[in-house]
Amino acid sequence: MTDETAPSVETPYGWVVVAASLLLMATAFGASYLMIVGLKPVAAEFGWPRWVPSLAYSLILLGAGFGGIVMGRWSDRSGMGGPALLGGFMVGGGAIALSYMDGIWPLLLLSGLVIGFLGNGTVFSPLLTNATRWFDRRRGIAVAIVACGQSLAGAAWPTLFRYGIDEIGWRETWFYYGIFAVCVMVPLSLLLRRRPPVYRAIGNGQAAAARSAGSALPPGLVQVLLCVAIVGCCVAMAMPMVHVVAYCSDLGFEAARGAEMLSLLLACAFFSRLGFGWLSDRIGGLMTILLGSGMQAITLAMYIWIDNLFGLYVISGVFGLVFGGIVPAYALAVRELFPDSEAGWRIGVVFLFGTVGMALGGWLGGWVFDLTGTYQIAFMTGVFFNLVNLMVIGALIWQEGASTRTQAASA
């Protein structure tokens, strides 16, 4: 939230940055979907067990998570132009190199280091952080639009990759995707070389002093609490996304119906991000997380009792509408709680823990099912993690309110 009496630092070029960032993210995230779609043919060609390409996919995600911290720090110091340019070459070049690979270690190294750490590590948290620096009045909707690039990637790339693999093979599909990524991402990165107006409007030292003054909790503790919170909501978030198809099949419905529910869930999440972005401009990042996470807990709990086909379609759509805007709101919360000069690496750390939460939620749902033979207990476990998130975010909101009241009383 911003001081409505202060002059705005927004410029029209900020929307150019948002559009370029959206396309960068939509292009870069194609690499992970290409690994998913190509999992079976890659394993079959080399006679590998499927855990090998699955591990490559996981390394892309983990590499991107750790890379986001380093690239975020780089963008804090020098702006987004350099990291974005590097990302374009690494995503595209890594994909081209993978089209020639012939062993396990080249696959894992190129996936984790080149495409993950050096490529996708420049994308999610650095681009969201950069978007926050171009806006003060409409920061939430700007971040939401950029984050929609991830949803666009999920909607477009799997179908294109499946067609390419069926027609020309996985190696050629990797190669042409790499060429496309370089040709799209490198020119777009040049649009991000201009420094945001926030840097010109106020010095980083002044911003840090203004944002950290009067905080009731040490910055390190606030960072830890945000990381705990995002793990809690992402564990709950992942369970329907990973297991709704299997859950639908267990209830006696066709797996295709479960796939349709998943598609509906992800489509609704796209619109959710825009709606929550608009909302966060009015109530702030922390309050948006609290509201979205509360509705997510209620909706996830409904999976425990609903077992008819129509009800599952409805609840999957509602779940998409309530969860999609939560994660981008963490970027806004970091900007509310920490100095501008630290935003990049701090957002990177938070989103790394979000990735851990998503991975943990997907695994935990299957593990609890294996132990109990029912997804109801698994969804209850997700609700528990979600309640932890609500308690942590509620505590942060309370302490921020207490700090504001103390400052007002002493003024």
The enclosing H or E element of 244 equals helix 219-250
Note the Cα 26 to chain centre separation in Å: 12
CATH number for the domain spanning 340: value is: 1.20.1250.20
Q: How confident is the model at residue 174 (pLDDT cuts 50, 70, 90)?
A: very high
Cα radius of gyration (the chain): 21
Domain-ending residue, one of 168, 185, 201: 201
* Whether residue 104 is found in the same domain as residue 155: yes
* Structural domain harbouring 125: 13-201
Closest CA to 389 of 335, 345, 326: 326
* Whether residue 178 is found in the same domain as residue 312: no
Residue range 160-187: mean pLDDT, rounded: 93
- 116-to-65, 121, 243 alpha-carbon distances in Å: 8, 6, 25
Residue range 143-168: mean pLDDT, rounded: 86
Rounded-to-integer distance, Cα 182 and Cα 96, Å: 10
* Whether residue 150 is found in the same domain as residue 288: no
In the chain, pLDDT over 70 holds for what percent of residues? 91
Rounded-to-integer distance, Cα 26 and Cα 10, Å: 24
CB 95 within 8 A of CB 115: yes
Residue 187 makes CB contacts below 8 A (sequence gap 6+) with: none
At residue 202, the pLDDT reads: 42
Q: How confident is the model at residue 216 (pLDDT cuts 50, 70, 90)?
A: low
Domain-ending residue, one of 201, 233, 268: 201
* Whether residue 239 is found in the same domain as residue 375: yes
Would you state the structure tokens that stand for residue 330, as one six-digit string? 């963490």
The model's pLDDT over 105-130, given as tens digits with 9 standing for 90+, comes to 999 999 999 999 999 999 988 999 89
Rounded-to-integer distance, Cα 407 and Cα 401, Å: 10
Domain count, the chain: 2
Residue range 3-15: mean pLDDT, rounded: 70
Amino acid residing at 257: R
Averaged pLDDT score across all residues of the chain: 86
Domain assignment present for residue 315? The answer is yes
Domain assignment present for residue 216? The answer is yes
With a cut of 70, say whether residue 3 has pLDDT above it.
no
* Whether residue 241 is found in the same domain as residue 195: no
Domain assignment present for residue 53? The answer is yes
* Whether residue 246 is found in the same domain as residue 103: no
What is the signed CA dihedral for 250, 252, 255, 259, rounded to 10 degrees? -80
- For CA atoms 33, 37, 40, 41, give the dihedral sign: negative
Closest CA to 153 of 47, 26, 24, 299: 26
Model pTM score: 0.81
Q: How confident is the model at residue 213 (pLDDT cuts 50, 70, 90)?
A: very low
CB 193 within 8 A of CB 86: no
* Whether residue 342 is found in the same domain as residue 228: yes
* Whether residue 174 is found in the same domain as residue 305: no
* Whether residue 242 is found in the same domain as residue 382: yes
Percentages of the chain per state (helix, strand, coil), in multiples of 5:
85, 0, 15
Rounded-to-integer distance, Cα 136 and Cα 288, Å: 17
Domain assignment present for residue 165? The answer is yes
The model's pLDDT over 306-326, given as tens digits with 9 standing for 90+, comes to 989 999 999 999 998 999 889
Domain assignment present for residue 8? The answer is no
Domain assignment present for residue 190? The answer is yes
CB 304 within 8 A of CB 368: no
Residue 247 makes CB contacts below 8 A (sequence gap 6+) with: 240, 258, 303, 375
* Whether residue 267 is found in the same domain as residue 402: yes
Domain assignment present for residue 117? The answer is yes
Q: How confident is the model at residue 89 (pLDDT cuts 50, 70, 90)?
A: very high
Domain assignment present for residue 18? The answer is yes
Residue 217, φ and ψ in degrees, nearest 5: -120, 150
With a cut of 90, say whether residue 209 has pLDDT above it.
no
* Whether residue 166 is found in the same domain as residue 45: yes
Q: What angle (nearest 5°) sits at the alpha carbon of residue 131, between those of residues 129 and 136? A: 105
Domain-ending residue, one of 201, 219, 252: 201
Would you state the structure tokens that stand for residue 44, as one six-digit string? 């079959």
* Whether residue 293 is found in the same domain as residue 186: no
At residue 261, the pLDDT reads: 86
Among 227-231, 234-238, 309-313, 355-359, the range scoring the smallest mean pLDDT is 355-359
At residue 288, the pLDDT reads: 94
